[in-house]
Amino acid sequence: MDEYELFRRLGVALAIGLLVGLERGWQSRDEEDHQRAAGFRTFALSGLLGGIAGLVSVHAGGVVIGLIFLGYTAAFVAFHWLEASVDRDMSVTSVVAGMVTFLLGCLAIVGDLDIAIAAAVAMTALLALREQLHRLLASLTWHEIRAVLILLAMSFLLLPILPNRTIDPWNAINPYEIWLLAILIAAVSFAGYVAVRAFGDRLGVILAAIAGGVASSTATTLALARLGREHPTSAGLISAGILIAGVVMIVRVGIVAIALNGELLPYLLLPLAVGGVILALGAFTLLFGNKEQERPQLQIDNPLALGTALRLAAFIAGVMLATEFLRWTLGPVGALIVAGISGVADADAVTISMARLGGGEVDLKTAGQAILIAVAVNTTSKAALAAWGGGRKIGALVGAISAVALAGGALAIALMPSLPI
Protein backbone atom coordinates (compact mmCIF):
# COMPACT_ATOMS: atom_id res chain seq x y z
CA MET A 1 0.00 0.00 0.00
CA ASP A 2 1.16 3.58 -0.63
CA GLU A 3 1.97 6.06 2.12
CA TYR A 4 -1.40 7.81 1.94
CA GLU A 5 -3.30 4.54 2.35
CA LEU A 6 -0.96 3.50 5.17
CA PHE A 7 -1.52 6.68 7.18
CA ARG A 8 -5.24 6.55 6.49
CA ARG A 9 -5.47 3.05 7.89
CA LEU A 10 -3.33 3.94 10.91
CA GLY A 11 -5.62 6.91 11.48
CA VAL A 12 -8.63 4.61 11.43
CA ALA A 13 -6.94 2.27 13.94
CA LEU A 14 -6.34 5.23 16.25
CA ALA A 15 -9.90 6.49 15.71
CA ILE A 16 -11.26 3.10 16.70
CA GLY A 17 -9.34 3.29 19.96
CA LEU A 18 -10.50 6.85 20.56
CA LEU A 19 -14.12 5.88 19.98
CA VAL A 20 -14.03 2.99 22.42
CA GLY A 21 -11.95 5.02 24.87
CA LEU A 22 -14.49 7.82 24.80
CA GLU A 23 -17.21 5.48 25.99
CA ARG A 24 -15.02 3.66 28.54
CA GLY A 25 -13.63 6.94 29.86
CA TRP A 26 -17.11 8.40 30.28
CA GLN A 27 -18.25 5.33 32.21
CA SER A 28 -15.39 5.82 34.69
CA ARG A 29 -15.41 9.64 34.64
CA ASP A 30 -15.95 9.91 38.40
CA GLU A 31 -12.79 8.00 39.24
CA GLU A 32 -9.55 9.85 39.88
CA ASP A 33 -6.60 9.60 37.53
CA HIS A 34 -4.34 6.59 38.04
CA GLN A 35 -7.16 4.81 39.90
CA ARG A 36 -8.31 2.75 36.91
CA ALA A 37 -6.53 0.24 34.72
CA ALA A 38 -7.59 1.77 31.40
CA GLY A 39 -9.25 4.98 30.30
CA PHE A 40 -9.60 7.19 27.28
CA ARG A 41 -5.90 7.37 26.37
CA THR A 42 -5.22 3.69 27.06
CA PHE A 43 -7.93 2.52 24.68
CA ALA A 44 -6.81 5.01 22.04
CA LEU A 45 -3.28 3.63 22.30
CA SER A 46 -4.67 0.08 22.19
CA GLY A 47 -6.19 0.74 18.78
CA LEU A 48 -2.99 2.37 17.54
CA LEU A 49 -0.91 -0.51 18.94
CA GLY A 50 -3.07 -2.97 17.04
CA GLY A 51 -2.56 -0.95 13.87
CA ILE A 52 1.22 -0.91 14.35
CA ALA A 53 1.21 -4.65 15.05
CA GLY A 54 -0.71 -5.21 11.84
CA LEU A 55 1.75 -3.05 9.93
CA VAL A 56 4.74 -4.93 11.34
CA SER A 57 3.11 -8.26 10.51
CA VAL A 58 2.92 -7.29 6.85
CA HIS A 59 6.71 -7.47 6.73
CA ALA A 60 7.53 -9.89 9.56
CA GLY A 61 4.66 -12.38 9.37
CA GLY A 62 1.39 -12.92 11.16
CA VAL A 63 3.02 -14.47 14.23
CA VAL A 64 4.01 -10.94 15.28
CA ILE A 65 0.37 -10.05 15.84
CA GLY A 66 -0.07 -13.08 18.08
CA LEU A 67 3.00 -12.30 20.18
CA ILE A 68 2.14 -8.62 20.62
CA PHE A 69 -1.45 -9.52 21.39
CA LEU A 70 -0.41 -11.97 24.10
CA GLY A 71 1.85 -9.39 25.72
CA TYR A 72 -0.79 -6.69 25.51
CA THR A 73 -3.47 -8.95 26.97
CA ALA A 74 -1.21 -10.10 29.81
CA ALA A 75 -0.42 -6.51 30.79
CA PHE A 76 -4.07 -5.44 30.54
CA VAL A 77 -5.27 -8.38 32.63
CA ALA A 78 -2.59 -7.78 35.27
CA PHE A 79 -3.49 -4.13 35.76
CA HIS A 80 -7.20 -4.90 35.71
CA TRP A 81 -6.66 -7.58 38.35
CA LEU A 82 -4.95 -5.02 40.56
CA GLU A 83 -7.86 -2.61 40.05
CA ALA A 84 -10.42 -5.33 40.76
CA SER A 85 -8.66 -6.39 43.96
CA VAL A 86 -9.12 -2.86 45.29
CA ASP A 87 -12.60 -2.06 43.93
CA ARG A 88 -13.97 -5.59 44.32
CA ASP A 89 -15.26 -5.31 40.74
CA MET A 90 -15.40 -8.67 38.97
CA SER A 91 -16.43 -7.29 35.55
CA VAL A 92 -14.11 -8.17 32.67
CA THR A 93 -15.89 -5.98 30.13
CA SER A 94 -13.02 -3.50 29.89
CA VAL A 95 -10.50 -6.32 29.37
CA VAL A 96 -12.52 -7.80 26.52
CA ALA A 97 -13.12 -4.33 25.07
CA GLY A 98 -9.39 -3.67 25.11
CA MET A 99 -8.63 -6.97 23.37
CA VAL A 100 -11.23 -6.30 20.69
CA THR A 101 -9.94 -2.74 20.23
CA PHE A 102 -6.43 -4.09 19.62
CA LEU A 103 -7.67 -6.66 17.11
CA LEU A 104 -9.82 -4.13 15.27
CA GLY A 105 -6.78 -1.89 15.01
CA CYS A 106 -4.95 -4.81 13.37
CA LEU A 107 -7.89 -5.45 11.07
CA ALA A 108 -7.85 -1.82 9.94
CA ILE A 109 -4.33 -2.40 8.59
CA VAL A 110 -4.37 -5.94 7.20
CA GLY A 111 -8.08 -6.51 6.55
CA ASP A 112 -11.28 -4.85 5.46
CA LEU A 113 -11.39 -1.27 6.68
CA ASP A 114 -15.18 -1.01 6.51
CA ILE A 115 -15.65 -4.12 8.63
CA ALA A 116 -13.24 -2.78 11.25
CA ILE A 117 -15.11 0.53 11.45
CA ALA A 118 -18.53 -1.12 11.59
CA ALA A 119 -17.41 -3.54 14.30
CA ALA A 120 -15.97 -0.68 16.36
CA VAL A 121 -19.20 1.29 16.16
CA ALA A 122 -21.23 -1.79 17.08
CA MET A 123 -19.00 -2.57 20.05
CA THR A 124 -19.14 1.02 21.32
CA ALA A 125 -22.92 1.07 21.04
CA LEU A 126 -23.11 -2.21 22.93
CA LEU A 127 -20.92 -0.82 25.70
CA ALA A 128 -22.88 2.44 25.88
CA LEU A 129 -26.23 0.63 26.19
CA ARG A 130 -25.18 -1.20 29.35
CA GLU A 131 -27.94 0.14 31.59
CA GLN A 132 -30.66 -0.30 28.99
CA LEU A 133 -29.58 -3.86 28.22
CA HIS A 134 -29.51 -4.77 31.91
CA ARG A 135 -33.01 -3.37 32.39
CA LEU A 136 -34.21 -5.28 29.34
CA LEU A 137 -32.72 -8.51 30.64
CA ALA A 138 -34.29 -8.00 34.05
CA SER A 139 -37.70 -7.45 32.48
CA LEU A 140 -37.64 -10.58 30.31
CA THR A 141 -39.46 -13.75 31.27
CA TRP A 142 -38.43 -17.28 30.42
CA HIS A 143 -41.38 -17.57 28.03
CA GLU A 144 -40.09 -14.59 26.05
CA ILE A 145 -36.53 -15.92 25.89
CA ARG A 146 -37.81 -19.32 24.80
CA ALA A 147 -39.95 -17.67 22.12
CA VAL A 148 -36.91 -15.91 20.66
CA LEU A 149 -34.88 -19.12 20.69
CA ILE A 150 -37.67 -21.06 18.97
CA LEU A 151 -38.03 -18.35 16.34
CA LEU A 152 -34.28 -18.39 15.68
CA ALA A 153 -34.27 -22.19 15.43
CA MET A 154 -37.18 -22.08 12.98
CA SER A 155 -35.38 -19.49 10.85
CA PHE A 156 -31.77 -20.65 10.87
CA LEU A 157 -31.88 -24.37 11.66
CA LEU A 158 -35.00 -25.78 10.03
CA LEU A 159 -35.70 -23.40 7.14
CA PRO A 160 -32.36 -23.92 5.31
CA ILE A 161 -32.80 -27.71 5.15
CA LEU A 162 -36.29 -27.66 3.63
CA PRO A 163 -36.57 -28.16 -0.15
CA ASN A 164 -37.43 -24.97 -2.00
CA ARG A 165 -39.57 -26.72 -4.63
CA THR A 166 -43.00 -28.27 -4.96
CA ILE A 167 -43.30 -31.87 -3.79
CA ASP A 168 -46.83 -32.86 -4.86
CA PRO A 169 -48.18 -33.99 -8.26
CA TRP A 170 -50.19 -30.75 -8.62
CA ASN A 171 -47.19 -28.44 -7.99
CA ALA A 172 -49.01 -26.72 -5.13
CA ILE A 173 -47.00 -27.46 -1.95
CA ASN A 174 -43.58 -25.87 -1.46
CA PRO A 175 -42.24 -26.83 2.03
CA TYR A 176 -39.82 -23.90 2.11
CA GLU A 177 -42.53 -21.34 1.34
CA ILE A 178 -45.00 -22.88 3.80
CA TRP A 179 -42.45 -22.93 6.63
CA LEU A 180 -41.35 -19.39 5.81
CA LEU A 181 -44.97 -18.34 6.12
CA ALA A 182 -45.16 -19.99 9.56
CA ILE A 183 -42.02 -18.07 10.60
CA LEU A 184 -43.51 -14.78 9.44
CA ILE A 185 -46.75 -15.40 11.30
CA ALA A 186 -44.88 -16.31 14.49
CA ALA A 187 -42.57 -13.31 14.15
CA VAL A 188 -45.45 -10.89 13.71
CA SER A 189 -47.23 -12.40 16.71
CA PHE A 190 -44.11 -11.83 18.79
CA ALA A 191 -43.81 -8.27 17.49
CA GLY A 192 -47.39 -7.62 18.53
CA TYR A 193 -46.67 -9.03 21.98
CA VAL A 194 -43.66 -6.73 22.37
CA ALA A 195 -45.69 -3.72 21.24
CA VAL A 196 -48.44 -4.43 23.74
CA ARG A 197 -45.93 -4.89 26.59
CA ALA A 198 -44.11 -1.72 25.65
CA PHE A 199 -47.05 0.62 25.06
CA GLY A 200 -50.18 -0.95 26.57
CA ASP A 201 -53.58 0.78 26.78
CA ARG A 202 -55.05 2.37 23.65
CA LEU A 203 -51.84 2.36 21.64
CA GLY A 204 -51.23 -1.24 22.61
CA VAL A 205 -54.62 -2.28 21.21
CA ILE A 206 -53.89 -0.43 17.97
CA LEU A 207 -50.41 -1.90 17.57
CA ALA A 208 -51.63 -5.37 18.48
CA ALA A 209 -54.37 -5.06 15.86
CA ILE A 210 -51.91 -3.94 13.21
CA ALA A 211 -49.30 -6.59 14.00
CA GLY A 212 -51.93 -9.28 14.45
CA GLY A 213 -53.67 -8.24 11.24
CA VAL A 214 -50.48 -8.82 9.31
CA ALA A 215 -50.30 -12.37 10.63
CA SER A 216 -53.97 -13.33 10.93
CA SER A 217 -56.85 -10.90 11.20
CA THR A 218 -59.12 -13.80 12.16
CA ALA A 219 -56.95 -14.82 15.12
CA THR A 220 -56.64 -11.16 16.10
CA THR A 221 -60.42 -10.79 16.01
CA LEU A 222 -60.86 -13.73 18.37
CA ALA A 223 -58.20 -12.43 20.78
CA LEU A 224 -59.61 -8.91 20.89
CA ALA A 225 -63.19 -10.17 21.13
CA ARG A 226 -62.32 -12.22 24.22
CA LEU A 227 -60.67 -9.13 25.70
CA GLY A 228 -63.80 -7.12 24.92
CA ARG A 229 -65.97 -9.57 26.82
CA GLU A 230 -63.77 -8.99 29.88
CA HIS A 231 -63.97 -5.19 29.43
CA PRO A 232 -67.53 -4.45 28.24
CA THR A 233 -67.10 -0.69 28.71
CA SER A 234 -64.37 -0.72 26.04
CA ALA A 235 -66.53 -2.11 23.24
CA GLY A 236 -65.71 0.85 20.99
CA LEU A 237 -61.95 0.52 21.46
CA ILE A 238 -62.00 -3.25 20.97
CA SER A 239 -64.26 -2.97 17.91
CA ALA A 240 -61.87 -0.40 16.45
CA GLY A 241 -59.00 -2.83 16.93
CA ILE A 242 -60.92 -5.58 15.12
CA LEU A 243 -61.70 -3.23 12.24
CA ILE A 244 -58.06 -2.12 12.05
CA ALA A 245 -57.03 -5.77 11.75
CA GLY A 246 -59.53 -6.05 8.90
CA VAL A 247 -58.02 -3.04 7.15
CA VAL A 248 -54.55 -4.56 7.49
CA MET A 249 -55.89 -7.81 6.04
CA ILE A 250 -57.29 -6.00 2.99
CA VAL A 251 -54.03 -4.10 2.47
CA ARG A 252 -52.04 -7.31 2.90
CA VAL A 253 -54.18 -9.21 0.41
CA GLY A 254 -53.85 -6.45 -2.15
CA ILE A 255 -50.08 -6.16 -1.76
CA VAL A 256 -49.50 -9.92 -1.90
CA ALA A 257 -51.78 -10.44 -4.89
CA ILE A 258 -50.35 -7.58 -6.93
CA ALA A 259 -46.76 -8.41 -5.95
CA LEU A 260 -47.22 -11.97 -7.17
CA ASN A 261 -49.27 -11.04 -10.23
CA GLY A 262 -49.39 -7.41 -11.31
CA GLU A 263 -52.09 -8.15 -13.89
CA LEU A 264 -54.61 -8.51 -11.04
CA LEU A 265 -54.37 -4.79 -10.20
CA PRO A 266 -57.43 -3.59 -12.20
CA TYR A 267 -59.51 -6.45 -10.80
CA LEU A 268 -58.76 -5.74 -7.14
CA LEU A 269 -57.75 -2.12 -6.61
CA LEU A 270 -61.10 -0.31 -6.54
CA PRO A 271 -63.25 -2.73 -4.48
CA LEU A 272 -60.46 -3.39 -1.97
CA ALA A 273 -59.68 0.32 -1.64
CA VAL A 274 -63.32 1.30 -1.06
CA GLY A 275 -63.88 -1.45 1.50
CA GLY A 276 -60.63 -0.70 3.30
CA VAL A 277 -61.32 3.04 3.52
CA ILE A 278 -64.79 2.45 4.98
CA LEU A 279 -63.40 0.07 7.62
CA ALA A 280 -60.64 2.57 8.46
CA LEU A 281 -63.12 5.43 8.84
CA GLY A 282 -65.29 3.28 11.09
CA ALA A 283 -62.29 2.33 13.24
CA PHE A 284 -61.20 5.98 13.50
CA THR A 285 -64.68 7.02 14.61
CA LEU A 286 -64.87 4.32 17.26
CA LEU A 287 -61.31 4.92 18.44
CA PHE A 288 -61.62 8.64 19.06
CA GLY A 289 -65.37 9.00 19.45
CA ASN A 290 -65.45 8.14 23.18
CA LYS A 291 -62.34 9.15 25.07
CA GLU A 292 -63.87 8.32 28.45
CA GLN A 293 -64.06 4.59 27.85
CA GLU A 294 -61.87 2.20 29.82
CA ARG A 295 -58.48 1.37 28.37
CA PRO A 296 -57.82 -2.32 29.02
CA GLN A 297 -54.42 -3.90 29.27
CA LEU A 298 -53.93 -6.78 26.87
CA GLN A 299 -52.93 -9.94 28.73
CA ILE A 300 -51.06 -12.15 26.26
CA ASP A 301 -49.64 -15.30 27.83
CA ASN A 302 -48.03 -16.79 24.72
CA PRO A 303 -45.64 -14.31 23.04
CA LEU A 304 -44.92 -16.49 19.99
CA ALA A 305 -48.26 -18.22 19.32
CA LEU A 306 -46.34 -20.99 17.60
CA GLY A 307 -49.28 -23.37 17.55
CA THR A 308 -51.43 -20.77 15.81
CA ALA A 309 -48.67 -20.06 13.30
CA LEU A 310 -48.22 -23.73 12.45
CA ARG A 311 -51.95 -24.34 12.16
CA LEU A 312 -52.40 -21.36 9.86
CA ALA A 313 -49.46 -22.44 7.69
CA ALA A 314 -50.85 -25.97 7.48
CA PHE A 315 -54.28 -24.60 6.67
CA ILE A 316 -52.88 -22.47 3.86
CA ALA A 317 -50.99 -25.47 2.49
CA GLY A 318 -54.19 -27.51 2.54
CA VAL A 319 -56.14 -24.78 0.77
CA MET A 320 -53.48 -24.46 -1.91
CA LEU A 321 -53.63 -28.21 -2.47
CA ALA A 322 -57.45 -28.24 -2.49
CA THR A 323 -57.53 -25.33 -4.92
CA GLU A 324 -55.34 -27.19 -7.37
CA PHE A 325 -57.35 -30.42 -6.99
CA LEU A 326 -60.74 -28.75 -7.47
CA ARG A 327 -59.44 -26.71 -10.36
CA TRP A 328 -58.36 -29.92 -12.07
CA THR A 329 -61.72 -31.58 -11.44
CA LEU A 330 -64.27 -28.72 -11.61
CA GLY A 331 -62.47 -26.00 -13.50
CA PRO A 332 -62.94 -22.31 -12.55
CA VAL A 333 -66.07 -23.07 -10.50
CA GLY A 334 -63.97 -25.23 -8.16
CA ALA A 335 -61.62 -22.34 -7.45
CA LEU A 336 -64.55 -20.09 -6.49
CA ILE A 337 -65.97 -22.76 -4.17
CA VAL A 338 -62.61 -23.08 -2.40
CA ALA A 339 -62.39 -19.28 -2.12
CA GLY A 340 -65.71 -19.12 -0.32
CA ILE A 341 -64.95 -21.98 2.05
CA SER A 342 -61.40 -20.96 2.96
CA GLY A 343 -62.33 -17.30 3.34
CA VAL A 344 -64.18 -18.18 6.54
CA ALA A 345 -60.84 -18.58 8.31
CA ASP A 346 -58.26 -16.86 6.13
CA ALA A 347 -57.92 -15.06 2.80
CA ASP A 348 -54.18 -15.53 2.34
CA ALA A 349 -54.26 -19.04 0.93
CA VAL A 350 -56.70 -18.14 -1.84
CA THR A 351 -54.80 -14.93 -2.55
CA ILE A 352 -51.47 -16.68 -2.94
CA SER A 353 -52.93 -19.57 -4.90
CA MET A 354 -55.00 -17.43 -7.28
CA ALA A 355 -52.20 -14.91 -7.79
CA ARG A 356 -49.88 -17.73 -8.80
CA LEU A 357 -52.45 -19.28 -11.16
CA GLY A 358 -54.09 -16.11 -12.51
CA GLY A 359 -53.45 -15.46 -16.18
CA GLY A 360 -52.21 -19.01 -16.67
CA GLU A 361 -54.06 -22.08 -15.53
CA VAL A 362 -56.88 -19.84 -14.19
CA ASP A 363 -58.05 -16.76 -16.10
CA LEU A 364 -57.53 -13.37 -14.46
CA LYS A 365 -61.24 -12.68 -14.02
CA THR A 366 -61.80 -15.91 -12.09
CA ALA A 367 -58.68 -15.28 -10.00
CA GLY A 368 -59.84 -11.77 -9.11
CA GLN A 369 -63.34 -12.99 -8.27
CA ALA A 370 -61.94 -15.74 -6.03
CA ILE A 371 -59.78 -13.27 -4.08
CA LEU A 372 -62.65 -10.82 -3.60
CA ILE A 373 -64.97 -13.62 -2.51
CA ALA A 374 -62.39 -14.78 0.06
CA VAL A 375 -62.01 -11.22 1.39
CA ALA A 376 -65.78 -10.70 1.59
CA VAL A 377 -66.40 -14.02 3.33
CA ASN A 378 -63.52 -13.41 5.73
CA THR A 379 -64.85 -9.96 6.61
CA THR A 380 -68.29 -11.44 7.26
CA SER A 381 -66.90 -14.28 9.36
CA LYS A 382 -64.90 -11.85 11.51
CA ALA A 383 -68.07 -9.92 12.27
CA ALA A 384 -69.71 -13.17 13.37
CA LEU A 385 -66.67 -14.10 15.47
CA ALA A 386 -66.69 -10.64 17.07
CA ALA A 387 -70.31 -11.14 18.11
CA TRP A 388 -69.67 -14.67 19.35
CA GLY A 389 -66.50 -13.87 21.28
CA GLY A 390 -67.09 -10.28 22.34
CA GLY A 391 -70.80 -10.01 22.88
CA ARG A 392 -73.75 -8.27 21.32
CA LYS A 393 -72.41 -4.70 21.34
CA ILE A 394 -69.06 -5.52 19.75
CA GLY A 395 -70.81 -7.76 17.23
CA ALA A 396 -73.24 -4.99 16.33
CA LEU A 397 -70.50 -2.37 15.87
CA VAL A 398 -68.19 -4.59 13.83
CA GLY A 399 -71.05 -6.14 11.88
CA ALA A 400 -72.64 -2.82 10.91
CA ILE A 401 -69.41 -1.22 9.72
CA SER A 402 -68.33 -4.41 7.92
CA ALA A 403 -71.69 -4.54 6.13
CA VAL A 404 -71.25 -0.95 4.95
CA ALA A 405 -67.72 -1.79 3.74
CA LEU A 406 -68.95 -4.83 1.80
CA ALA A 407 -71.78 -2.81 0.29
CA GLY A 408 -69.33 -0.09 -0.69
CA GLY A 409 -67.07 -2.58 -2.43
CA ALA A 410 -70.00 -4.11 -4.30
CA LEU A 411 -71.25 -0.66 -5.28
CA ALA A 412 -67.81 0.27 -6.58
CA ILE A 413 -67.90 -2.74 -8.89
CA ALA A 414 -71.44 -1.95 -10.04
CA LEU A 415 -70.66 1.69 -10.81
CA MET A 416 -67.56 0.84 -12.80
CA PRO A 417 -68.76 -0.91 -15.97
CA SER A 418 -65.23 -0.87 -17.33
CA LEU A 419 -64.03 -2.98 -14.41
CA PRO A 420 -63.00 -6.41 -15.77
CA ILE A 421 -65.09 -8.28 -13.18
Could you read off the pLDDT of 151-207 as tens digits, one per residue?
A: 899 999 999 999 988 887 777 788 887 888 778 767 766 776 777 677 766 787 788
Q: At what angle do helices 40-60 and 63-87 cross, to 10 degrees?
A: 160
Contact 250, 278 (CB under 8 A): no
- In 34-112, which residue ranges form alpha helices assigned H by DSSP? 40-60, 63-87, 93-110
Q: Indicate whether 211 and 129 sit together in one domain.
A: no
Q: Indicate whether 90 and 171 sit together in one domain.
A: no
Assigned domain for 113 exists: yes
Q: Is 268 left (phi over 0), alpha (psi -120 to 50) or beta?
A: alpha
Check residues 189 and 252 and name the one with the higher pLDDT. 252
Check residues 37 and 386 and name the one with the higher pLDDT. 386
User: Which percentage of the chain shows pLDDT scores above 90?
Assistant: 29
For the chain, the domain total comes to 2
Q: Indicate whether 267 and 190 sit together in one domain.
A: yes
Q: Please give the average per-residue pLDDT across 353-366, as a whole number.
A: 77
| Predicted pLDDT of residue 310 | 78
Closest by CA to 10, choosing from 66, 60, 48, is 48
Assigned domain for 240 exists: yes
| Boundary-marking domain end, from 119, 135, 151 | 135
- pLDDT-derived band of residue 122, with 50, 70 and 90 as boundaries? very high
Assigned domain for 360 exists: yes
Return mean pLDDT, the chain.
82
Assigned domain for 419 exists: no
Q: Indicate whether 123 and 234 sit together in one domain.
A: no
Model confidence, pTM: 0.59
Q: Indicate whether 297 and 392 sit together in one domain.
A: yes
Q: Indicate whether 129 and 167 sit together in one domain.
A: no
Assigned domain for 349 exists: yes
Q: Indicate whether 222 and 88 sit together in one domain.
A: no
- pLDDT-derived band of residue 348, with 50, 70 and 90 as boundaries? confident
pLDDT reading at 335 higher than 90: no
In whole angstroms, what is the distance from residue 179 CA to residue 184 CA?
9
| Predicted pLDDT of residue 413 | 82
Q: Indicate whether 74 and 151 sit together in one domain.
A: no
Assigned domain for 420 exists: no
pLDDT reading at 286 higher than 60: yes
| Boundary-marking domain end, from 99, 117, 135 | 135
User: Which percentage of the chain shows pLDDT scores above 70?
Assistant: 82
Q: Indicate whether 233 and 202 sit together in one domain.
A: yes
Q: Indicate whether 171 and 43 sit together in one domain.
A: no
What backbone torsions phi and psi does residue 331 show, to the nearest 5 degrees? Answer: 80, -155
| Predicted pLDDT of residue 345 | 64
Q: Indicate whether 198 and 226 sit together in one domain.
A: yes
Check residues 105 and 261 and name the one with the higher pLDDT. 105
Check residues 310 and 119 and name the one with the higher pLDDT. 119
Q: Please give the average per-residue pLDDT across 357-362, as a whole number.
A: 73
In whole angstroms, what is the distance from residue 281 CA to residue 203 CA?
17
| Predicted pLDDT of residue 68 | 93
| Boundary-marking domain end, from 91, 118, 135 | 135
- pLDDT-derived band of residue 301, with 50, 70 and 90 as boundaries? low
Check residues 171 and 6 and name the one with the higher pLDDT. 6
Assigned domain for 421 exists: no
In whole angstroms, what is the distance from residue 368 CA to residue 178 CA?
23
Flag the least confident range among 47-61, 125-139, 305-319, 352-366: 305-319
| Predicted pLDDT of residue 185 | 66
| Predicted pLDDT of residue 101 | 95
Q: Please give the average per-residue pLDDT across 91-103, as a whole number.
A: 90
Assigned domain for 252 exists: yes
- pLDDT-derived band of residue 12, with 50, 70 and 90 as boundaries? very high
Flag the least confident range among 144-158, 204-218, 296-310: 296-310
pLDDT reading at 302 higher than 70: no
Structural domain boundaries enclosing 245: 141-414
Q: Indicate whether 83 and 222 sit together in one domain.
A: no
